[in-house]
Amino acid sequence: MKRILCAILLITACLTSFAQSQITGIWGIDFNSSMNTVTQKLISRGVNSSDILKSSTNIVLEGAVRFASENFDGCCFFFDKDKFKMVVFNKAIQYEDAFTTHLNYKQAEQWLANNRYKVNQVIASLKSDLVAKYGTPHLEREDRLLWKSANGNIIEIEIKKTLDISSEIGKPEMYNEYGAIPQYYISVIIVQPQESM
């Protein structure tokens, strides 16, 4: 009887020590926090109040923001009835000489192929950080990774590639006046879905 009890305690201890963290929000800001609470927590983290753009349904942080070990171009907190429900981080990796060197469709496709390694580096870094905290992704494809914790909350990484800022691959007629501006667009979405509220 003592051995069984010891075995159960040992198994329980092992399972508890390897339990993955729950996704509850970000930066110490819990889902369902009010917009004022989120604003105050952002300011207490060192975000300048002038970098916080508020509307009735969201807070946008302009400029560089950090998530995990990566810098992003900005992020947006979304609210439903003054409750924090989702945050989206965005990062663009795009053709730098768009205003001096025009690319045609084939050149834009070649740029995308030649620069996929930059996206892979960002994804590998994010994945390493998230696996350490939340375990193996529940879904892993070339263009999407997804973690879902036991409380139903989700972290999703999406990768899109475009020929210019407003078009999808396969629509070369959407070039702007400078020709193609190929880019990869990486989004990290942290969300509390409706069913887990």
Beta pairing partners, 160: 185
| Per-residue pLDDT band at 174 (split at 50, 70, 90) | very low
Q: What is the reported pTM? A: 0.80
pLDDT at residue 172 above 60? no
Per-residue pLDDT reduced to its tens digit, 96-154: 886 677 788 888 889 999 999 999 999 999 999 999 999 999 999 989 999 999 999 99
Closest C-alpha to 109, from 168, 185, 186: 168
Please give the mean pLDDT across all residues of the chain: 83
pLDDT at residue 74 above 60? yes
> What is each CA distance from 191 to 106, 130, 180, in whole angstroms?
37, 15, 33
Question: Residue 177: what pLDDT?
Answer: 55
Mean pLDDT, residues 3-15:
49
CA geometry: angle 95, 101, 104, nearest 5 deg: 80
Per-residue pLDDT reduced to its tens digit, 21-64: 899 999 999 999 999 999 999 999 999 988 999 999 999 998 88
Domain boundaries, the chain: 22-196
First to last CA, the chain: 43
Q: Is residue 77 a contact partner of residue 193, using CB atoms and an 8 Å limit?
A: no
| Per-residue pLDDT band at 65 (split at 50, 70, 90) | very high
Question: Residue 192: what pLDDT?
Answer: 92
CA 188, CA 193: separation in Å to the nearest integer?
15
Residue type, 91: K
The dihedral through the CA atoms of 122, 128, 130, 136 has a sign that is positive
Percent of the chain, pLDDT > 90? Answer: 61
